[in-house]
Amino acid sequence: MTKEHTNICPHDCWDTCSMTVTVDESGKAVKIRGNKEHPVTKGFLCIKVNNYLERVYHPERILYPMKRSGKKGEGVFEQISWEEAIQLITDKYKEIIRQYGPEAVLPYSYAGTMGLINYGSMDRRFFGKMGASRLARTLCASAASAALHSVYGTRLGVDPEDMVHSRLIIAWGTNTIHTNVHQFPIMEEARRNGAVLVVIDPYRHETAEKADIHLQIKPGTDSALALGMIHLLIHNDQLDHAYIANYLQGFDELKERVKPYTPAHVASITGLSEQEIIEFTQLYASTKTSLIRCGFGPQRHTTGGEIIRTLAVLPALTGAWQELGGGFLLANMDVGINYENLYRTDVYEGTPREINCAQLGSALLQQDNPVKALYVYNSNPALVTPDANKVTEGLLRDDLFTVVHEQHMTETCRYADIILPATTTLEHLDIHTSYWHLYVQLNEPSIAPLGEAKSNTETFRLLAEAMGYTEDCFKDSDEDLIRQALDSTHPFLKGITYETLKEKKYQKIAFEGEHFFPFQHGFLTPSKKVEALAPQMKELGLEPLVNYTPLEQKEENPEQYPLHFLTVKSKHFLNSSFGNVETLKKREKEPVLYMNPQDALSRGIAEGDQVKVYNNRGEIVLPAKISEKVGAGVLVTPINLWQKNVNVTTSEALTDLGGGATYYTNFVEAVKIG
């Protein structure tokens, strides 16, 4: 007799899907599909997660603890027991702490699982109690997060389910069809209701091809376009003056700022035509129920915070926030979870240094106060971290003790001293929120852990016990952790408990009325307004008023490396996850390098030629795909393919706000080889 269970997709994706998993009499999961009852998932999964069981039962799944028996990087290991693994790890930590201090230990994790307790709970307690170096987890969205906090006071936006009411949808820097598959049907329903879909992106991807309008902007010039739009809105008096008076701080200063941003000037910056700029702004001005659906792409530049701040101001000028389906949506992250209960900073020891995860390579190579132990979980830093050659050099250090807690033999595992087997979402308990939709969801295990796999929380309990940490918080069960996360006074979580989630599996956050208007009582900034002028920016050494700053090639010579290299999301892989799933590898095929005909002609490159893309950090070889999907001066290829690591070229430079990774401010040259 088969049974059906509800699981939640754990991957770093907007959709946070509810999955129905069928388990046979032997306890094996035999089928996975989207939960038909879930209001957002609606019965279907993306092409990646449709193949999730191939990942769970992969023949190279790590099932037992192992220790290295060859040289670092060779990937040669021998099986050991959990008892021996825990003993080896904690003995080494105690030795390192005695000799170098606790800061010599560095945890490294990111978003390999987005379940709240396996993402960040017992691990934060463990390394905090140790006094280990703290990790600034900034790879994906920290510039956007900081920008939203500065403009709105919180990371909230429109309920994506209300997008069906939008009459103009601007997909700004997002390939929705590949990266947010449950968003696109909502967009299509809105279009059937009369909405226009505009895509703003340097790359003519699949979503752009299906849009009504595609504005192929130059990378990193988004805020110039936004300032040009504001210039025209003011010039043509297409403003909601009452809304501006009540809800926008800095309007007088903004009027002065945008005076130079005429259509001609903006066209010279963005690569768009004056006509495109004027017609698009007129469309925005004349459509009250307009929604800017912004992706994470624009904020992965050195000026990423500035870009998001400027874009986020636009709806206040037209009063779009007053309309159902109008406003701005980048993320819905601040839904009331009690992170202090999860992290328990009251048990932390000292105030250790902070290391930015985007600068791992430099951290591993520094001589002063060196990192002597690295504990990796929920991430594959050898593949996903900028300046990957530096990271590899650091991981090869013989004096670096590296532990990797992982499901599969990733690139990072090859450099480990100890490998620990990790559970998948089908094998452990967790709770999930989305950074897009508004549902809190419970993930209960549908199968027993394979082999000797253990969850993050269970592993850190074992490590804490072996280190002699006796605080009661290290004894908290997963059920305790879920209850603690939901033990919040925030009104969004009213009526949501572990017990109600066990019964219902998912619950939408609580809010006033039938629809979610996050700012109906004002914004959560100090002024209670949208802050186009944010005085606190001055304390960070930044311009308080929204602005446009051209990208700088800080680490590259512009004449030597004239091409802008964008590394976009793969269709069949999710960051580096699924990179070893054969079904998806066959569908993705070999990556190609999209190059504009103008750039190809000037370099003597033809379709299919092998092209070396390089800068002062590294190089990668890819076959050329000559196409006007990219503008002149721009190259595009997918990210995080195993054995084809584009991050050998990306930089450790950080965003202006939030200290984020700047994957998209990456300049290279390209030459034909062979």
pLDDT surpassing 60 at residue 575 = no
More confident residue, 645 or 185: 185
**Which strand ranges, in their side-by-side order, compose the sheet holding 327-329?**
213-215, 196-200, 168-172, 290-294, 327-329
More confident residue, 515 or 586: 515
- Parallel, antiparallel or unpaired: strands 134-136 and 354-356: parallel
What share of the chain in percent tops pLDDT 70?
96
Counting beta carbons within 10 angstroms of the beta carbon of residue 353, is it exposed (0 to 12), middle (13 to 18) or buried (19 or more)? exposed
pLDDT band for position 583 (50/70/90)? low
Q: Which residues are CB-contacts of 179 (< 8 A; sequence separation ≥ 6)?
A: 13, 14, 295, 569
Kindly list the structural domains of the chain, giving each domain's residue range(s) and its CATH number in brackets, ordered by start.
3-56 (3.30.200.210), 66-140+337-508 (3.40.50.740), 143-330 (3.40.228.10), 563-672 (2.40.40.20)
Across the range 547-566, mean pLDDT stands at 87
What is the CB neighbour count within 10 angstroms for residue 164?
18
pLDDT surpassing 60 at residue 385 = yes
Residue 47: the pLDDT is 84
Secondary structure of residue 101 in the 3-state scheme: coil
pLDDT band for position 224 (50/70/90)? very high
| Residue 459, token pair as written in the block | 């592993």
Q: Which residues are CB-contacts of 63 (< 8 A; sequence separation ≥ 6)?
A: 421, 450, 451, 452, 453
The region of weakest confidence among 360-364, 642-646, 648-652 is 642-646
Chain-centroid distance of CA 67 in Å reads 31
Across the range 591-603, mean pLDDT stands at 96
pLDDT band for position 522 (50/70/90)? very high
- Nearest alpha carbon to residue 439 among 44, 37, 109: 37
Residue 557: the pLDDT is 74
Residue 559: the pLDDT is 84
Residue 585: the pLDDT is 59
Distance CA 387, CA 410 (A): 18
The region of weakest confidence among 36-50, 273-287, 473-487, 560-574 is 560-574
Per the CB < 8 A criterion, the answer to whether 220 and 271 are in contact is no
- Parallel, antiparallel or unpaired: strands 105-109 and 77-79: unpaired
Q: What are phi and psi of 644, to 5 degrees?
A: -135, 75
pLDDT surpassing 80 at residue 271 = yes
Residue 430: the pLDDT is 99
Amino acid found at 181: V
Residue 48: the pLDDT is 86
The helix (run of H) or strand (run of E) holding residue 132 is none
Per the CB < 8 A criterion, the answer to whether 260 and 345 are in contact is no
Distance CA 368, CA 441 (A): 44
pLDDT surpassing 60 at residue 57 = yes
Mean pLDDT of the chain: 96
Q: Convert the pLDDT of each residue in 184-194 to its tens digit.
A: 999 999 999 99
pLDDT surpassing 70 at residue 643 = no
Counting beta carbons within 10 angstroms of the beta carbon of residue 19, is it exposed (0 to 12), middle (13 to 18) or buried (19 or more)? buried
Across the range 55-65, mean pLDDT stands at 95
pLDDT surpassing 80 at residue 589 = no
Which phi-psi region, left, alpha or beta, contains residue 486 (left: φ > 0; alpha: ψ -120 to 50)? alpha
Distance CA 190, CA 197 (A): 9
- Parallel, antiparallel or unpaired: strands 29-34 and 290-294: unpaired
DSSP per residue, 612-651: EEE-SS-EEEEEEEE-TTB-TTEEEEES-BTTB-GGGS--
The helix (run of H) or strand (run of E) holding residue 109 is strand 105-109
pLDDT surpassing 90 at residue 628 = yes
pLDDT surpassing 80 at residue 476 = yes
Q: Convert the pLDDT of each residue in 330-364 to its tens digit.
A: 999 999 999 999 999 999 999 999 999 999 999 99
Task: Answer positive or negative: Cα dihedral of 183, 507, 43, 513.
Answer: negative
pLDDT surpassing 90 at residue 303 = yes
pLDDT surpassing 70 at residue 581 = no
Q: Convert the pLDDT of each residue in 111-123 to its tens digit.
A: 989 999 999 999 9
Across the range 5-22, mean pLDDT stands at 96
Distance CA 543, CA 227 (A): 15
What share of the chain in percent tops pLDDT 90?
92
pLDDT surpassing 90 at residue 169 = yes
pLDDT surpassing 60 at residue 409 = yes
Q: End-to-end distance of the chain based on CA atoms, in angstroms? A: 59
317-345 in b/e form (b: 16+ CB < 10 A) is bbbbbbbbbbbbbbbbbbbbbbeebbbbe
More confident residue, 54 or 501: 501
